[in-house]
Amino acid sequence: MPKRFWRIGVQKGYETLFDKTIPAGSITDAQLRELLKCLTAKTMSYEDIVGGYVKRKTKLAHTFLDIRGDGLGYFCGNGSDPTTVAIASLLDENKKPVTRPKFP
């Protein structure tokens, strides 16, 4: 099986705040999603962090810490600062992004 890696980063506009590549087998999908939430929360206010964890459809709730993605990549944005985002991209053994297979 080919070796795969996760490239994990935090971007603020065009500035890279954090960039790390780790073997894909060293983290579960659930751990990766929680890591992205944690990295995003680091750039947020305490009030915004609380709003990301309270019950949905309550007065304080929002979707700032919701993870979006498709298994080949994930992202989590800071709603109070939409220019800041935590991203995880799946890379192949040559450190190139893994793309979806093309169907005939």
Q: Between 18 and 72, where is the model more confident?
A: 18
Residue 23 has pLDDT above 70, yes or no: yes
What residue ranges in 1-104 does DSSP mark as E strands? 5-12, 15-23, 68-69, 73-77, 84-91
Rounded to 10 deg, the angle between the 46-53 and 29-41 helix axes is 150
The answer to which of 7-11, 87-91, 99-103 has the lowest mean pLDDT is 99-103
State the Cα–Cα distance between residues 88 and 57, nearest whole angstrom.
Answer: 28
Q: What is the pLDDT of residue 1?
A: 63
Q: What is the pLDDT of residues 47-82, one digit of tens each?
A: 989 999 999 999 999 888 999 998 889 999 877 788
Domain ranges in the chain are: 5-91
**Chain mean pLDDT for the chain:** 91
Collapsed DSSP state (helix, strand, coil) of residue 52 = helix
